[in-house]
Amino acid sequence: MLSVHTSPLHQPGTGDAGGMNVYIVELSKRLAELGTEVEIFTRSTASALPPLVELAPGVLVRHVTAGPYEGLIKEDLPAQLCAFTHGVLRTEAGHRPGHYDVVHSHYWLSGQVGWLAADRWGVPLVHTMHTMAKVKNASLAAGDTPEPAARVIGESQVVAAADRLIANTDEEAQQLAEHYGAHAGQLSVVHPGVNLEVFRPATATPTGPVGDALGNPAAEAARVRAIRARLGLPQDAVVLLFAGRIQPLKAPDVLVRAVAQLLDESPELRDRIVVPIVGGPSGSGLAKPEALQKLAAQLGVCDVIRFQPPVGQAELADWYRAATALVMPSYSESFGLVALEAQACGTPVVAAAVGGLPVAVRDGETGFLVRGHDPRAWARTLRRFVDHPELGARMGAAAARHARAFGWDAAARRTAELYADSIARTRAAQARGMATATAR
């Protein structure tokens, strides 16, 4: 696997680490459990990092030196792809011929490296876009920076070179076909999963059925009260949680504006609403890292907004459990793993009706989908949890059941099948080529 611009060892919610990191880590672990050895190549970002780290049994992370260890942003990395490719090819040269059976690249930068490596080794290139420049540019947040033409060209090249393109949803597969000319024989849809051992209702056990926990609402409520006390959240508050990278694309400002709208309409709610924002500045958000705090001050809602640094999965699960609802106003999401994680914890989701979120969230059953980014529309939807206190528990129970269908085991099995099919197709094509050359 190739993950040039972000390491699977980095904390999601910081820098460029996010859903893609979770995707690579969880998929790799499950593939290893199925008997597929995985090596993840990523760029080294510190001189003290060891060349090789065991992430899990059967999963190795290789740190490749490519450019300065620190100080490079994602936009600087195309200039380092030659050095990164050299490190990948040099590693393979130290093994017996045919050591790697398939290359799976993630994001377009990795696809550029994978394109050359797969061609050099005579193995299939499987690629997952995660996000696409043309899709992002079609739905930019106000003030956000468009993706450059170089990325559009690079993505088109990767699509043309890939033997298999794994899309998160049917919509993403359609976008690959419409915007980049991907053909049906390349495209396969595999829904991402969620770690159901970590993300589960408060009273569920890691291996027990979710129904056991949901069947005892009193015990669940008591556990949630304890979690809220530990996190310093009021017991009777409506907790509207944002979790993720703070950048215009994720639109946390829409949530802040919607809450300000709610309080303008009903000032008496000020003591009943808490909005934790768990995450750190990322991407174009790094240009103005304090912009969201300043917006909250301008709108007069600093007293209800709580900024929290990114946290590990176990603590993040508690934030989900403590929330009345998770709010995802994103302008673009290839899938929205955060939405699945929250639902697996028994928390409904209010999400923008974009990308893969309509697949992750069942509108009116496990949460609500909001069209557009008008804060007034978001305020109306969020108010439903204020006016109907029972809504969170009812939708949360449905959300937990819904999320059970998205385990990583199923995603890994389907991905392994696609690897095997891609390998077989590549070898058959090579055999036909050899037969034709011999005939000549």
- Binding residue positions for 1D-myo-inositol 3-phosphate: 5, 16-21, 74, 107, 131, 151
The CA-to-CA distance between both ends of the chain, in Å, stands at 37
Q: How far is residue 390's CA from residue 235's CA, in Å, rounded to a whole number?
A: 15
Tally of helices (H runs) and strands (E runs) in the chain: 16, 14
Q: Which residues are annotated as a binding site for UDP-N-acetyl-alpha-D-glucosamine?
A: 11-12, 19, 245, 250, 311, 333, 341
The DSSP secondary-structure symbol of 370 reads E
Q: Between the CA of residue 26 and those of 188, 192, 289, 333, what are the distances in Å?
A: 19, 9, 30, 19
- For CA atoms 199, 204, 207, 211, give the dihedral sign: negative
User: Are 42 and 4 spatial neighbours (Cβ–Cβ below 8 Å)?
Assistant: yes
Burial of 436 (0-12, 13-18, 19+ CB in 10 A): exposed
Q: Which residues are annotated as a binding site?
A: 5, 11-12, 16-21, 74, 107, 131, 151, 245, 250, 311, 320-321, 323, 333, 341, 347
The contacts of residue 28 (CB under 8 Å, 6+ apart) are 1, 8, 38, 40, 55, 56, 59
Which pair of structure tokens corresponds to residue 100? Answer: 């790697």
* DSSP assignment of 247-301: SGGG-HHHHHHHHHHHHHH-GGGGGTEEEEEE--B-GGGGGSTTHHHHHHHHHT-
Q: Which residues are annotated as a binding site for Mg(2+)?
A: 320-321, 323, 347
